[in-house]
Structure 1
Amino acid sequence: MLTSAGPDPITMLVPDFPFSYDGWLRHPAGLGVLPPERAGTPVAVVGGGMAGMTAAHELMRLGLRPVVYEAEQLGGRMRSVPFPGRPECVAEMGAMRFPVSARSLFHYIELLGLATSPFPNPLAPSTPSTLIDLGGERHTARTARELPDVYQEVAVAWEKALRERAELATVRDAIQRRDVETLKLVWNRLVREFDDQSFYGFLATSSSFQSFRHREIFGQVGFGAGGWDTDFPNSVLEILRVVYTEADDNHVAIAGGSQRLPRGLWEHRAESCAHWPAGTSLSSLHGGSPRPRVRGVARDGEGFVVTDAEGRRDRFASVVYTPHVWTLLNRVECDPSLLSAPLWTAVERTHYMGASKLFVLADRPFWLDPDPRTGRPVMSMTLTDRMPRGVYLFDDGPDRPGVMCLSYTWNDDSAKMATLSAAERLEVLLEKLAAIYPGVDIRSHVVGEPLTITWENEPHFMGAFKSNLPGQYRYQRRLFTQFMQRGLPGAERGFFLCGDDVSWTAGFAEGAVTTALNAVWGVVEQRGGATHPDKPGPGDLSDALAPVELPYDA
């Protein structure tokens, strides 16, 4: 029975492949050992986001020479943009909140000594006030108990649906105890039952959610990080993974911006590396800058030729590819033999969610001023069915500027923003917020120009993150298990996909980290290395942990 002793806190031990990456990272023997003659062997790492920096950092520590290629800037979707003239104030354009259950991610946060603070999610203990604006009715609350009864009914309905139909208690208990046998037994059955079910279909067929009003409120407000309705078309399996692992709640922010994490790994001077002297960093191996974007990847016998944007061609035995997989279709000239036909189909069928944000700098955190009529803050973290959808407020003290995320939207709501300039977006949002907060002059506190992004319009991303539609489990399984190349002919090995869209929890940096570690294991195994016998890696346990395979002809 694959069970570890002792109760643990809930972690992002994803039931499809419940490998304890955090335990592997903590093992004193490290992630493996390579034959001495492999020392210094170059490995191409395409993409400088969290997956790329994780893979490059660990490959360097193993004694290989990672060669990082980056199309824009180190960080990927961990993009923290400073406001002009106030570099200490940043707009988190991509990843901005991280669940404490993401223990593999926190391995690197702690390695770099980065400080964190509670993220101001709706109704979170650290959030001073939350305002819910639905159908023209507004309710302000500090805790969920202060909301009208219908919100309590929705919360109970969601909990009941999870417990009755998705075995929430059993799965969470198995995750906490790291009882892999029970976890896979239950989850494999649920995959077979719900692969074709959308999130909305799951709600609509649950006895506790027979009321459309309850489904509407849940979609607009949700719990934990906020509303869920933009996820309604997606597979319910996507949602269950997040809920089981408590990835939807108890979030923290990284002080100074999330981009400090991947950039920190780039600059980090490792104390101990195989082959490389103490104090070696990724930056020092690259002369301070990564290579430019990759223009083409082609197989060359049992190796690869990588061509960058400046026309330089280099040969590698292994390539770790971390960007969104869609970039293989239209941003990189690819040899068709790079992947098998079923894998190319999985790449083509990948579905990305759109997302837009708009930030402004405020002269001070005026939203904390008490309303003389109610005694509450004049403005709150806001969930609304109007165009802003989500408003987040960040302060670093009463005498310092504050940062306002005036809108955080997804999918169709993001599309409403896509054709507007930054200035036009700001005007529309201020108009909508004036109706929610009459008498609050937000504009008078805005300093400088807004900062904004629409991720589906970003050429090297084309979306915020992947989210599988009903029936796409088989495609996701192909992409995730692609790192398991043991036994394949040499001419079919060596190209490793990773990144959060290859993971089972797309949109979470934890998935970027863990799939990068899968790729590291794959490179080590391909180059004749091995993990420590007392601490096998993910590929070593693939037979026991592999995601359930659904029939193709049924």
Structure 2
Amino acid sequence: MTPAPTDQLAMLIPDFPFSYDEWLRHPAGLGQVPADLHGTPVAVIGGGISGLVAAYELMRMGLRPVVYEAGQLGGRMRSAGFPGHPGCVADLGAMRFAPTARTLFHYIHELDLPTSPFPNPLAPCTPSTVINLNGVTHQGRSQMLLPSIYQEVADAWDKTLRDKAELFTMEDAIRRRDVDLIKVVWNRLVHRLDDQSFYGLLADSAAFTSFRHREIFGQVGFGAGGWDTDFPNSALEILRVVYAHADDGEQVSIVGGAQRLPLGLWSHSPARMARWRPGTTIASLNHDAPRPGVTRLGRDGADILVEDAGGGLSRFPAVVFTPHVWTLLGSIDCSAELLSAPQWTAVERTHYMSSSKLFVLSDRPFWLDTDEHTGEHAMGMTLTDRSPRGVYLFDHGPDRPGVMCLSYTWNDDSAKFRTMTDQQRLTVLLRRLSAIYPGVDIASHVISEPVTISWENEPLFMGAFKQNLPGQYRYQRRLFTQFVQRDAPAAQRGFFLCGDDVSWLGGFAEGAVTSALNAVWGVMNHLGGGTDPTNPGPGDRFDELAPVELPL
């Protein structure tokens, strides 16, 4: 299969194929609020990428974003350093971005952040890829150098996408931004596949009759790695990723760490703003620090009450809420009237993927050493069915330390580490890797303490990101469409959910950014503002593009 050229593709999500990147680029801007409302405070709860994009664009409209953050700015765009080694970072959450994420890259370019190719399996920038399955190891730089069974699995996946998911038709429609065709094809697939799991889609395909082929595909996959931890999820979740080329191998990372993007938005002054003086930033409007985390949300007439952990109580005409929606069920005392009963059911039913990583610093990029007997590199980017699952190697030059992600895992594989200390995790991983690389003393090159994360253990997150299970399309539709409030009762207006678990593309920063822009449109509309007729926003085109509504 010849993939569509990514320079013509965008993450145009078929459920709601609105071109957010074109809306952002338009010279008319995103819209405006009445001049007499300039300076109006709007609460933005959560200082991750979704919250800071929302705050940034609300500031540009002349509103005053008041940011609340219970932890550190950045959310799951969290980068950790290694003491004594400036420039070496571990991206604990988001770490690689596909070029089709054009809305996200609008902000990366706005901040002029440099990027570098990410060392995914078999990517052009990856010196060597090692696949270790069932105790057998293969190494190579391209798929052509691997045993033929891997090509058979790749061909089976391509055939499944052609036969079951109308791949060519959808890719061509997305490339041309033919929203009518996108809607026709996708709505048909939603009706057919909402109740089917990803594994069910594979097992139902004539190309995947072999269990061995399904097993290899789950453990190795193509692009950024294996897919088996997604097997229980809805098939629709995977097709969105495929159509958007969101998980292709040729991704990039942000030099210096992904957290530079949200922190940059916090401190960057846009070239054009309503009301505010040149040099104004989100930071300056918030006295250089966000308010503490929110503990209670309520309603007082037309205003929404926000109480924070420091005891502060403020009222706002509009609130943008970006954290995981599960926080509304426990850590935040949220008035039931802010959402409808069906929306609360959708919040309860949200399903989160768990995920863990472990990083260490090496004395140098020793993995580039050549084995005198085989001529192969000492190590490579590694995919394995054992506990490390994914190993990524980051080279900063021959005379500088290297960063090693010794394990990147999901769901059950992540749960295997939950009860271990950081040092115990490292010990287990080094033991497992020694079986894959028996002639390499990896431990002798480690010069730092391990840096770890298990997102399911993080109290502010309780998981890595949303992934719908089969039959959950209706719930996701309720959360995504919540930003359009024209028919909502007064008590449910002015409170806007966003973030990647509200988007159709959970786990990708693009979804967090685009859902933030939905909330910006919602706030603008709620306050009596609007878009320029030449540049309608997502709410203006909602009736045309709205996600299909399945029967109850």
Determine if the TM-score, normalized by the shorter chain, exceeds 0.5.
yes
State the match for 2:196 in structure 1. Answer: 197
Deviation per CA, 1:67-102, whole angstroms, max 9, x where unpaired?
A: 000010000000000011113111110000001000
The 1-side partners of 2:500 and 2:539 are apart by 18
State the match for 1:4 in structure 2. Answer: none
The 2-side partners of 1:165 and 1:272 are apart by 47
The answer to whether the Cα contact below 8 Å between 2:7 and 2:100 also exists between their aligned partners in 1 is no
| Counterpart residue identity of residue 283, structure 1 | A
The answer to whether the Cα contact below 8 Å between 1:8 and 1:178 also exists between their aligned partners in 2 is no
State the match for 2:333 in structure 1. Answer: 333
The 2-side partners of 1:491 and 1:475 are apart by 21
DSSP 3-state at the match of 1:98: coil
The 2-side partners of 1:425 and 1:162 are apart by 37
The answer to whether the Cα contact below 8 Å between 2:337 and 2:491 also exists between their aligned partners in 1 is no
DSSP 3-state at the match of 1:51: helix
The structural deviation recorded for 1:311 is 0.6
| Counterpart residue identity of residue 314, structure 1 | S
Unpaired runs of 5+ residues, structure 1, are: 1-6
DSSP 3-state at the match of 2:435: helix
Aligned residue runs from structure 1 range 108-507, under 5 A: 108-249=107-248, 250-507=250-507
In the alignment, structure 1 residue 11 sits paired with structure 2 residue 6: no
DSSP 3-state at the match of 1:357: strand
The structural deviation recorded for 1:280 is 0.5
State the match for 1:544 in structure 2. Answer: 544
DSSP 3-state at the match of 1:360: strand
Deviation per CA, 1:324-372, whole angstroms, max 9, x where unpaired?
A: 0000001101111111100000000000000000000001110011111
More displaced stretch, 390-399 vs 480-489: 480-489
Deviation per CA, 1:422-463, whole angstroms, max 9, x where unpaired?
A: 000000000000000001011111012100010000000000
| Counterpart residue identity of residue 192, structure 1 | H
Deviation per CA, 1:110-141, whole angstroms, max 9, x where unpaired?
A: 00000001100001111100000000110001
DSSP 3-state at the match of 2:185: helix
The 2-side partners of 1:532 and 1:373 are apart by 67
In the alignment, structure 1 residue 89 sits paired with structure 2 residue 88: yes
The structural deviation recorded for 1:535 is 0.7
State the match for 1:59 in structure 2. Answer: 58
Deviation per CA, 1:368-408, whole angstroms, max 9, x where unpaired?
A: 11111122210000000000000000011111110000000
- Aligned residue pairs total 546
| Counterpart residue identity of residue 469, structure 2 | L
Deviation per CA, 1:298-345, whole angstroms, max 9, x where unpaired?
A: 011111110000110000000000000000001101111111100000
The structural deviation recorded for 1:262 is 0.2
The 2-side partners of 1:380 and 1:62 are apart by 48
The 1-side partners of 2:158 and 2:196 are apart by 18
In the alignment, structure 1 residue 107 sits paired with structure 2 residue 112: no
State the match for 1:533 in structure 2. Answer: 533
The structural deviation recorded for 1:146 is 0.8
The answer to whether the Cα contact below 8 Å between 2:422 and 2:452 also exists between their aligned partners in 1 is yes
The structural deviation recorded for 1:490 is 2.8
The answer to whether the Cα contact below 8 Å between 2:77 and 2:94 also exists between their aligned partners in 1 is yes
RMSD: 0.8
The answer to whether the Cα contact below 8 Å between 1:8 and 1:177 also exists between their aligned partners in 2 is no
Unpaired runs of 5+ residues, structure 2, are: 1-5
The 2-side partners of 1:8 and 1:190 are apart by 26
Deviation per CA, 1:470-516, whole angstroms, max 9, x where unpaired?
A: 00000000000000012433332000000001000000000000000
State the match for 2:97 in structure 1. Answer: 98
Aligned residue runs from structure 1 range 519-530, under 5 A: 519-530=519-530
The answer to whether the Cα contact below 8 Å between 1:303 and 1:316 also exists between their aligned partners in 2 is yes
The 1-side partners of 2:49 and 2:175 are apart by 26
The 2-side partners of 1:31 and 1:331 are apart by 33
Q: Runs of 4+ in structure 1 displaced over 6 angstroms?
A: none
The 2-side partners of 1:136 and 1:335 are apart by 54
| Counterpart residue identity of residue 343, structure 2 | L
DSSP 3-state at the match of 1:99: coil
The structural deviation recorded for 1:271 is 2.1
The answer to whether the Cα contact below 8 Å between 1:303 and 1:491 also exists between their aligned partners in 2 is no
The 2-side partners of 1:481 and 1:24 are apart by 18
| Counterpart residue identity of residue 471, structure 1 | G
TM-score by length of 1: 0.98
The 2-side partners of 1:379 and 1:425 are apart by 20
Deviation per CA, 1:273-302, whole angstroms, max 9, x where unpaired?
A: 101011100111111101010011101111
State the match for 1:3 in structure 2. Answer: none
The structural deviation recorded for 1:197 is 0.2
The 2-side partners of 1:203 and 1:492 are apart by 41
DSSP 3-state at the match of 1:25: helix
The 2-side partners of 1:270 and 1:136 are apart by 54
The 2-side partners of 1:492 and 1:195 are apart by 28
Deviation per CA, 1:216-252, whole angstroms, max 9, x where unpaired?
A: 0000000001000000000000000000110011210
DSSP 3-state at the match of 2:447: strand
TM-score by length of 2: 0.98
The answer to whether the Cα contact below 8 Å between 1:117 and 1:252 also exists between their aligned partners in 2 is yes
The answer to whether the Cα contact below 8 Å between 2:494 and 2:526 also exists between their aligned partners in 1 is yes
The 2-side partners of 1:150 and 1:491 are apart by 58
The 2-side partners of 1:369 and 1:165 are apart by 44
DSSP 3-state at the match of 2:24: helix
Deviation per CA, 1:144-191, whole angstroms, max 9, x where unpaired?
A: 111101100000000000001100000000000000000000000000
State the match for 2:3 in structure 1. Answer: none
The structural deviation recorded for 1:8 is 6.9
State the match for 2:24 in structure 1. Answer: 25
DSSP 3-state at the match of 1:140: strand
| Counterpart residue identity of residue 162, structure 2 | R
The 1-side partners of 2:271 and 2:325 are apart by 34
* Percentage identity across paired residues of the two chains: 69
The 2-side partners of 1:40 and 1:19 are apart by 29
DSSP 3-state at the match of 1:418: coil
The structural deviation recorded for 1:254 is 0.3
The 2-side partners of 1:378 and 1:454 are apart by 29
